[in-house]
């Protein structure tokens, strides 16, 4: 490990540790002495880095990065959505913050079903009724009150500057906005400014003036600048125009919740992740506990054998997710039983090395007591060693596609993450039951899996990714890549991923796998589907007691604008 650290340190010296990194430096991994920000947009990473340089801690940088992403990454960065934070302080204290969206008080269990109790297509995905009560602003407010060291106004101001003064679109930014033009006009009562006949182009400067004014109200009034006053009025008026149900009381009553993290171990490493309403932490720990029974190193990375075993583990974990998990404030999820070593051993006992198990034969595990796709993740570590992993989301690209008139931001479509009908899959193919049924004030189940790892009682890794249901399996594979296959952080991020869940009964392979591997998997009885991209990991690896202790790995091999910035 010391040798590896020295290698990265030399690379950093050769290429410079500035925040202006070329592609070659990115693929080596950016090494830094004093702090690291890895996010899905270069401008947001630079804002986070500038906050660290001003003496801010990781929590300050997280707030500044979050609000900047709300401007420069409107498809996913947000103040109209919600998310989760995992943290580990320099002293070793760990915890989580749940600022997940909530079902409005006017929600009803069957609100997306017709008179025949059949799902109304797209009703939970697009338009005003798909939006849950946003949590992002309350989350940032809670973080600052507990951990902030710089004035809150100073942390929001960079995002205001970006919105009011404008910024240049990358090709990826422009392409995404152009792709959803029809959706913008279809689902907004009044034409949003992002809709126009002429296509947006790379290098074009874009300004979000309404959003800038909204951010000013947040800067000056904290959470009250969003959940009360002008912005709240604009949200409620938007709901009234489009048939949505978020009320003033829903906004005023929203609260972010501090929760105890879930912890486990994997081959001598401590894993720290999210509890429900995220399913990510439980699923990740189940996958890793099951993986300890198999010798992935000898199977070989992305071999048919390793993919087969991972798929079998994933199917069982997602079957459990479908039945047993939901918002703990409304449903007594059997967390201890699901993570019990005996339970895991029983669940994986019927895995065969030479044959796939059809999903129809994999039911949820029996316990004594039944208790976007567009997400973005950023990882931050400061010079003191405080670490933050935040995953935040609108769910789909641009959420429900509705921009709040006069406020300049998109609302989420997180209501689709509830089980709108038992056994009916959501947009990610995930099914659910009673545990995740719609109830007023309830938080919908999520797959977001921000995670921090310790080794020898010291910070080791900070990671997370977007990707709907693939978030869980992507985080899992990245951890296995580093720990089992001894990959560098960048290799672990870049390498092809796979995904499987209980339903549909198939393995998803990313990009081009060798035909020999595909045929071997089919011989084992697996159905194969190939897609272009799985996730967009943003990770940091920590090497204690070295000159350059932080190695940032931004995923630039997949579409997007990810960047690691350190100093």
Catalytic residues: 375
Which tokens belong to 230? 């002008």
**What angle do the packed helices 229-242 and 209-221 form, to 10 degrees?**
130
Helix (H) or strand (E) holding 284: helix 280-291
Tell me the backbone φ, ψ of residue 523, rounded to 5 degrees: -65, -35
**What angle do the packed helices 209-221 and 58-72 form, to 10 degrees?**
150
Separation of alpha carbons 322 and 502, rounded Å: 9
Which tokens belong to 338? 């699901």
In DSSP terms, which residues pair with 102 in a beta bridge? 133, 443
Contact 78, 70 (CB under 8 A): yes
Helix (H) or strand (E) holding 471: helix 470-483
Contact 44, 77 (CB under 8 A): yes
Map tokens 């990826």 to a residue. 172
How crowded is the C-beta side of 480, counted as CA atoms within 13 Å?
A: 30
Which tokens belong to 130? 């798909």
Separation of alpha carbons 446 and 449, rounded Å: 9
Helix (H) or strand (E) holding 550: strand 550-554
Please enumerate in sequence order all residues whose Cβ is within 8 A of that of 36, keeping only pairs 6 or more positions apart, or say none.
30, 379, 380, 381, 540, 550, 551, 552, 564, 565, 566
């Amino acid at each position: 490990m010391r040798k590896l650290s020295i290698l990265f340190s030399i690379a950093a010296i050769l290429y410079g540790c500035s925040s202006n990194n070329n592609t070659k430096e990115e693929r080596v991994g950016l090494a830094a002495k004093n702090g690291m920000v890895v996010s899905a947009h270069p401008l947001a990473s630079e804002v986070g880095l500038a906050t660290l340089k001003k003496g801010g801690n990781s929590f300050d940088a997280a707030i500044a990065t979050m609000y900047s992403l709300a401007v420069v990454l409107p498809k996913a960065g947000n103040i109209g959505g919600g998310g989760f934070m995992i943290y580990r302080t320099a002293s070793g204290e760990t915890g989580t913050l749940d600022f997940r969206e909530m079902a409005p008080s006017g929600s009803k269990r069957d609100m997306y079903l017709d008179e025949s109790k059949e799902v109304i297509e797209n009703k939970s995905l697009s338009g005003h009724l798909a939006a849950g009560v946003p949590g992002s602003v309350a989350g940032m407010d809670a973080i600052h009150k507990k951990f902030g060291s710089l004035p809150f106004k100073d942390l929001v101001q960079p995002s205001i500057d970006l919105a009011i003064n404008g910024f240049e679109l990358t090709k990826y930014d422009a392409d995404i906005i152009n792709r959803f033009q029809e959706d913008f006009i279809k689902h907004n009562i009044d034409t949003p400014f992002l809709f126009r006949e002429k296509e947006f182009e790379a290098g074009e400067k874009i300004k979000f003036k309404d959003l800038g004014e909204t951010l000013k109200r947040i800067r000056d009034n904290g959470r009250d600048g969003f959940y009360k006053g002008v912005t709240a009025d604009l949200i409620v008026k938007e709901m009234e125009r489009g048939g949505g149900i978020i009320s003033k009381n829903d906004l005023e009553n929203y609260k972010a919740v501090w929760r105890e993290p879930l912890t486990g171990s994997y081959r001598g490493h401590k894993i720290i992740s999210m509890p429900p309403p995220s399913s990510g932490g439980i699923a990740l720990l189940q996958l890793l506990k099951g993986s300890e029974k198999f010798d992935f190193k000898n199977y070989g990375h992305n071999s048919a054998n390793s993919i087969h075993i991972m798929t079998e583990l994933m199917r069982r974990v997602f079957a459990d997710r479908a039945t047993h998990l939901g918002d703990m404030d409304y449903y007594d999820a059997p967390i201890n039983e699901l993570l019990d070593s005996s339970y895991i051993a029983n669940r994986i006992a019927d895995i065969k090395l030479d044959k796939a198990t059809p999903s129809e034969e994999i039911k949820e595990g029996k316990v004594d007591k039944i208790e976007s796709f567009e997400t973005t993740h950023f990882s931050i570590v400061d010079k003191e060693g405080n670490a933050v992993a935040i995953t935040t989301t609108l769910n789909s690209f641009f959420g429900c596609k509705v921009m709040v008139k006069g406020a300049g931001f998109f609302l989420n479509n997180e209501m689709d993450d509830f089980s709108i009908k038992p056994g009916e899959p959501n947009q990610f193919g995930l099914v659910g039951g009673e545990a995740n049924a719609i109830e007023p004030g309830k938080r919908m189940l999520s797959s977001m899996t921000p995670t921090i790892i310790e080794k020898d009682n010291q910070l080791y890794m900070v990671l997370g990714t977007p990707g709907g249901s693939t978030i869980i399996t992507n985080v899992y594979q990245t951890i296995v890549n580093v720990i089992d296959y001894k990959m560098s952080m960048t290799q672990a991020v870049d390498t092809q991923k796979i995904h499987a869940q209980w339903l549909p009964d198939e393995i998803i392979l990313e990009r081009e796998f060798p035909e020999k591997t595909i045929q071997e998997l089919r011989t084992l009885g697996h159905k194969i589907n190939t897609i272009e991209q799985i996730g967009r990991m943003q990770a940091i690896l920590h090497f204690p007691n070295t000159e350059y202790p932080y190695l940032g790995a931004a995923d630039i091999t997949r579409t997007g604008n990810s960047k690691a910035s350190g100093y």
